[in-house]
Structure 1
């Protein structure tokens, strides 16, 4: 009789535990469903539960959470152009003074440049200095001009600049507007010999060039008044 009672008690306990486990499992499932519904309603669950498995396997955690890479600017392409110039550069070393001129459009009269051409020259000056070649900025005057608009030492007025500057070689080049961007032709030329001692080419995508050219002030077209005869 005692054995029967003991067996009945154990069965009752097991039945009670099973009932408790089922209750806990049901409550957990209901909580998970409610959480999923809230995420779906807010849209936050899309990236977590609807992300393609194949894409997840091919991406690291940093790529997933940091987003797309930053767009390359003009300095990236000028760095590559400078590396190509240095790779075939002759007669220029750490004791050879050089200068950099604005890059002009190939189909122009070489008398004017654009903001893109001027920025290419500025970027190249930085890259040339980094490799240890002395760069002379011939636009620097011998005096400071203090005005209400600011304080200046640079000028584009030829009469304000020094005539005798020990420049031996010049980094120069031109631009060709191409489908999808600008083709850059760069070279290093001797001032006296006119000999090309290095050359390189690069391509600037239209999106990179547009980011600079869009900030350039545009000259409004001259309006011709109509006069009644």
Structure 2
């Protein structure tokens, strides 16, 4: 027999390995120690819905878990949406006339010429969100042609020799990253290219599990946070 606590507002459930789906008993929640309807004490084993083998087996067998609702997957893009709202709120005029170039986010204590998967994904997500706000976003990584190859057809490039040398970009959107215990701090800003004036800024904290959910081409861990030495 296993006892599982479903995270969130879902009720506790008792799963009996020998029981049929119709015999799954609910556990009432209330202040103080939870008690099952048959007044038996709760077991000392508490596991989340993500790690619960009982819950996973029940779902695979088609058993309907009372009150269970899968939690939506939270990605980096969710935090970019919030950051973009803050940036737009800080802008004196949300103009659609200036052209925005979105750059990779770099680590504050690192080489500003080096990016990683997180910084590049933030750039891609901000391009989408800025476009949704009606801003004129310029994708300066787009070439003047489509390269057709046996493995695919490509129009983007990171080779500056293949790109147009001049773009009418008047505002850049980018920022820095800082590794923090339990995640990454994102500092985003929009800067006027001509006078380097910061037009808007925003900050957010992305938890470590959300950062780790990004998988590189070789499936290497994106960020490893080491415990501080005593």
| TM-score past 0.5 threshold | yes
Q: Shift of the alpha carbon at 1:45?
A: 5.5
Match 1:177 to one of 162, 179, 182: 179
- Please state whether the residue corresponding to 1:129 is helix, strand or coil: helix
Instruction: State the match for 1:14 in structure 2.
Output: none
Aligned to 1:52: 28
8 Å contact kept, 1:104–1:117: yes
Tell me which residue corresponds to 2:164. Answer: 162
The structure with more radius of gyration: 1
Equivalence for 1:85: 87
Give the number of aligned pairs: 174
- Pick aligned residue for 1:143 from 133, 137, 145: 145
Q: 2:143 touches 2:163 (CA, 8 Å); kept in 1?
A: yes
| Superposed displacement of residue 71, structure 1 | 2.8
- The gaps in structure 1 that reach 5 residues or longer are 1-38, 57-62, 220-229
Partner of 2:218: 217
Residues 68-121 of structure 1: CA distance to partner in whole angstroms, max 9, x if unpaired?
Answer: 412311111110000110111135511111010000111111111010100001
Could you tell me how far 1:216 is from its partner in structure 2?
4.7
Any idea what SS the aligned residue of 2:210 has? helix
Unpaired runs of at least 5, structure 2: 1-15, 37-64, 221-230
Query: Normalized per residue, which structure has more helix?
Result: 1
Q: Pairwise mapping of residues 19-168 of structure 1 onto structure 2 (< 5 A)?
A: 41-42=18-19, 44=21, 47-48=24-25, 50-52=26-28, 54=30, 64-90=66-92, 92-168=94-170
Determine if contact 1:91/1:197 at 8 Å carries over to the other structure: no
State whether residues 98 and 170 of structure 2, in contact with CA within 8 Å, keep that contact through their aligned partners in structure 1: yes
1:108-160 deviation line (CA, Å, top 9, x unaligned): 11111010100001111110000101100000011111112211111000111
SS of equivalent to 1:72: coil
In the superposition, the TM-score normalised over structure 2's length comes to 0.69
Task: Look up the match of 2:60.
Answer: none
- The answer to which of 64-73 and 99-108 deviates more is 64-73
Residues 105 and 175 in structure 2, CA contact (< 8 A), matched pair in contact too = yes
Q: Is the 8 A contact 2:192 2:199 kept in 1?
A: yes
CA RMSD of aligned residues (A): 2.5
Higher strand share: 2
Is the partner of 2:158 in helix, strand or coil?
A: coil
Structure with more contact order per residue of length (Cα contacts < 8 Å, sep ≥ 6): 1
